[in-house]
Structure 1
Amino acid sequence: MDNIVVFFENLTSLQKFIWIVGCLSVFWILEGVYPLKKHQYNKWKHAKTNFVLLLSTMLINVIFGLLTVGVFLWIDTTNFGLLHMVDFPVWVEIILAIMILDFTSQYLVHVLLHKIPFMWRFHTVHHSDTHVDVTSGTRHHPIDFIFRETFALLGVLIAGLPVSYYLMYRILTVLFTYFSHADISLPAKLDKAISYVFISPNTHKFHHHHVMPWTDTNFGNIFSFWDRIFGTFMYQDTKDIVYGVDILDAKKSEDILYQLKAPFQKGLKSVEYKS
């Protein structure tokens, strides 16, 4: 276990980049072999918009990376945070760290992105994708991503994490983000079994349905039990899913300038629909 901790402490930017590209590539290939929805769309054209947004979030991530280094140094100096108040085995601390970060920087902020009108404006860009596939996991408006990274720092502070635990979480969240967005069809029983603990591909697809109430369900990223605990979990038939969001122009799903400017439209708000 100590060797694993040391490995993640020394994880390089190149290794993280290779992991991102590797996960994207694997699920991209699987989408072609075992697709959930056989959409008629240009996959590369669709990916271009999402990759441009990925580039913008990667640049923001560099800035937050510098802030995070300062936070880790301060935590190390002051012994601040929950993990400094207990003496658990390393493997228990790692599990707790991942759970705390998954709750604060994924479930909690995701709920707020839907419930707070100002935050929802920017999160609509993620939901405006009318062809959800593995690249949709990279689709975030820059300001949406800033909200997410701010809550990630909050989770680091609350837990008092060492950098190794944080990087373990980041590696896992990349994997689950691409896994849950991937347009892949798992055997129904397998997907359902996975959904009891983790966010499965089918589970997250309901969250991308274009109207309420499904849009406000399944907020988790790694663990599904947050949604089960707080009553936001649902699991239905994927044949009923229509991707997109009801308040943006679906025809401009791949228009990058439209997507960047959309949150600043006057009168942008969610519309209530009957299920």
Structure 2
Amino acid sequence: MEKAIKRYWPVFVLPTLIAFIIGFVWPFIWGTGLSFCKFTTVKNVQFAGLSNYKMILMDDTFTHAFWFTAAFTVVSTVLVNVLAFAIALLLTRGMRGTNAFRTIFFLPNLIGGIVLVYIWQILLNGILTNLGKPLLALDATYGFWGLIILMCWQQIGYMMIIYIAGLQNVPGDLLEAAAIDGATGAQALFKVKLPMVMPSITICSFLTLTNSFKLFDQNLSLTAGEPAKASQMLALNIYDTFYQRSGAQWKGIGQAKAVVFFLLVIVIALIQLYFTRRKEVQQ
């Protein structure tokens, strides 16, 4: 049986490989090519060279969306991971009702992003200004923190599970040895537990960073970029450029923005993986 599997493994791999090529590789190559063109449909294409990429540099909305997204990503990544790790520490101390608390914290992750948005939209927009406008549409700062709250509520439970798994794999004899040597709780945390759960930190940091940077549906539903695109993140800015602006040039610019966005996420994710994995190697 094992020999047959080794002999015919291409037969099992081929369907998935074909689906991957059709669903991802080819659209990506085609989309990258379109980023150098002006077009209204894929059959009405005119080569434009680097003009689309030059337009990105002159688009203030894209620049603002980048810095807004970068700030959001930093704050949400730090908050989600710190809070998730703190909760994981509490829930690995053998306290009563641990399983119930784990379930409660994890539940928001099972709810779709749009549903979560409308729940928080009702809560946050319940506070009205004197102008009669919803609070989130009045100031980008309110929209920013509204998105942070939403991101934390949705992601903390999932990251908590990963951190719990990492903490449970910390060898007990290391903690006992630290206690015998007179290490305090804080010293055991920073000298033993944190180094041992670095693989979990790497995974959680990667997930929260990439999820934050490419956030779209929550941004669209909660703030829609209001006021005046001030709370617009990169993914929503690309959507707005491609679908909400008329003219063949905007399709190409939107496609070019998507390519730049893809490269940004890849580069930032690789940098994060590089530094966190270096910490793992040093242990």
Tell me if both proteins adopt one fold, taking TM over 0.5 as the criterion: no
Normalised TM-score (structure 1): 0.33
The higher relative CO (CA closer than 8 Å, separation ≥ 6) is in 2
TM-score under structure 2 length normalisation: 0.32
